[in-house]
Amino acid sequence: MNVLFTGLGSIGTRHLKNLHAVAKELGIDITSDALRSSNRELPAETKALIANEYTDCNKLGHYDAVFITNPTSLHFDTLKMLRGKAGALFIEKPIFDLTTLKLEDCIDDGQKAYVAAPMRWCGTMLALKELMPSLKVYSARVLCSSYLPDWRPNVDYRTVYSAHKSMGGGVTIDLIHEWDYIAELFGTPEKVYNFKGKYSNLEIDSDDLSIYIARFKTLLCEVHLDYFGRKYRRSIELFCENGTVTADFFAGTLTLENGEVKSFAEDVNERYMREMRYFIDYAQNGKGDSVNTPKTALEVLKITEGEQL
């Protein structure tokens, strides 16, 4: 299986390592190349997994899979540039930085494509989805609070895309994971209100706080996203007919309506490994749409704008 990576920052490197680990697990031979915009020397551990480095897309051949893992603001142009060169596309979230961009201008009809949605593959989330059919949910409260300077150890947070609106940063779309799983659990909201902005003293020009109220047919949902919470918190509370169900994705626990607590604690990389196993199978054997198509991902991105439904 020959693959191409278009970015080898923290998330691209994670996917590269996981790809090779899963391929070894499944007995698949992998050749991975990189299309890069600079000559910055890669870490030795990463470089060892790359067969060829290119800066000119005209020198590229056809690949079984292409990973679009460069900054969000570059996704659209990268997809246009690599059109027709991929058997399957793995597009890092969010798919674009602007909802005005059109899929037909960068992705061919019928192209196999999957947009990253690692929260869907989290052990606690998988357990929650299994429980959902038995619940009557009246309202939901979603929280993702973390401190941006702690996201990438030994990296100046002011230099990464998250800090800059022009690069597709800001909690509103950077933390689109929350809206991805909300839409998977409850469908498309009937109405969304969103208030967002820069409120902390972080040295960034992107939004560091985004708060939503969403109305679904049978429930209301509150969403809080921020870059400045000093204690990492990521959870969803479901207020149900017979009690409250809480999925704590950081602790890896699921608290049931009767108060029973079940543990699904695991290393965070396990969700990415499950996702990679799915993608490799989809790239090699899948027919039709993936479980998270570009169309679906763009619809979720539009939800994050608020007041558009």
Residues 6 or more apart from 110 whose CB is under 8 A from it? Answer: none
Q: Please identify which residue in the block is written with the tokens 């022009």.
A: 166
Quote the crossing angle between the two packed helices 177-186 and 123-131, to the nearest 10°: 20
Report, as an integer, the average pLDDT of 88-112: 95
154: alpha, beta or left, given left = phi > 0 and alpha = psi -120 to 50? left
Tens-digit pLDDT profile for residues 150-209 = 988 888 999 988 899 888 789 998 899 999 999 999 999 999 999 999 999 999 999 999
How confident is the model at residue 161, as a pLDDT? Answer: 82
How confident is the model at residue 309, as a pLDDT? Answer: 40
Question: Which option is the CATH number for 2-116+273-292: 3.40.50.740, 3.40.50.720, 3.30.565.10, 3.40.50.150?
Answer: 3.40.50.720
Q: What is the pTM of this model?
A: 0.91
Across 109-113, 165-169, 246-250, least confident range? 165-169
Quote the crossing angle between the two packed helices 177-186 and 294-305, to the nearest 10°: 100
Helix (H) or strand (E) holding 12: helix 10-26
Tens-digit pLDDT profile for residues 199-236 = 999 999 999 999 999 999 999 999 999 999 999 999 99
Measure the CA–CA gap between 54 and 32, rounded to whole angstroms: 12
Phi/psi of residue 277, nearest 5 degrees: -60, -45
- Going 151 to 152 to 155 to 161, the CA torsion angle's sign is negative
Question: Which option is the CATH number for 119-266: 3.30.360.10, 3.50.50.60, 3.40.50.200, 3.40.50.300?
Answer: 3.30.360.10
What are the residue ranges spanned by the domains of the chain?
A: 2-116+273-292, 119-266
Report, as an integer, the average pLDDT of 282-304: 94
